[in-house]
Structure 1
């Protein structure tokens, strides 16, 4: 959710389309590398390797802007920042865009939740269940 802290930029007078506006620099692949590097530096309490921690956190962080590029509203996502300020959308955009602020608590907000359950959480849950089953099968054989 860290990338969405950029909605605070509206209060600072930074325009949506600005490089540091909503879905700008904080939604870039470069920005997603920051928590991955932090996880690599602080991996020991996670009982894993630095590479595994960085990969897990980095993939988790980059999933946010990629999912935002699947939404049906807004100006797009600055995935290539700082090299490119172009706002990007995928050609297929099935996820309902979320309203910003208190407007989320409306009928449209409920439609967003339904859309995310269908297009994000259901596939993620199915993938997690599949990976869990594969891991259990592998552990039984070992």
Structure 2
């Protein structure tokens, strides 16, 4: 898995790419939680649930269904997030879905159960450039540093470049509302 910090990269990039203030702070917070929440499944280790189990690490909480459920909850709670219903649902869904997709790009683990409950198959992307993150007790080690450098190269830098490019395009785009 990428580190919890890197799972926050997608909501932060979307927020930076949007017109500032367009995404309310509560919606950004919901997106950050949705992007990091799937890794709460590491509690399964303490409950003696095997890694490969549907309720194990990278199982059901890393599925499209789980991301859709979080998006639906955002739809229902949009007023509390100070956002439109569709905006809240789409933002939270994308943020939640970014988690298993980033995990599928890592170099280790058992893959992600993206299609659970329809399939128990654990999937990886065909290309896996991101070093898998060590668990918390080993994060501040040489391997943890290698993971951070890998995440900077393969996640943070591309997202930064995309945000900068998007902001440049937005600045240069003609304002069509002023045309007769």
Partner Cα distance (1:40, 1:130) in 2? 30
- Residue 72 of structure 2 is aligned to residue 42 of structure 1: no
- Residue 127 of structure 2 is aligned to residue 88 of structure 1: no
> Alpha-carbon deviations, 1:16-69, whole Å to 9, x = none?
000000100001111011221122122235554311221111111101100100
**Structure 1: gaps spanning 5 or more residues:** none
Q: Which residue of 2 aligns with 1:132?
A: 167
Q: Which residue of 2 aligns with 1:25?
A: 60
Q: Which residue of 2 aligns with 1:54?
A: 89
State the number of aligned residues: 142
Q: Which residue of 1 aligns with 2:39?
A: 4
> Looking at both structures, which has the greater relative contact order when contacts are Cα pairs under 8 Å and sequence separation is at least 6?
2
> Alpha-carbon deviations, 1:55-109, whole Å to 9, x = none?
1111111011001000000110000001101000011100000111211111100
Partner Cα distance (1:15, 1:27) in 2? 15
Partner Cα distance (2:174, 2:96) in 1? 29
Partner Cα distance (1:79, 1:50) in 2? 25
**Structure 2: gaps spanning 5 or more residues:** 1-35
Q: Which residue of 1 aligns with 2:154?
A: 119
State TM-score, norm by structure 1. Answer: 0.92
State TM-score, norm by structure 2. Answer: 0.73
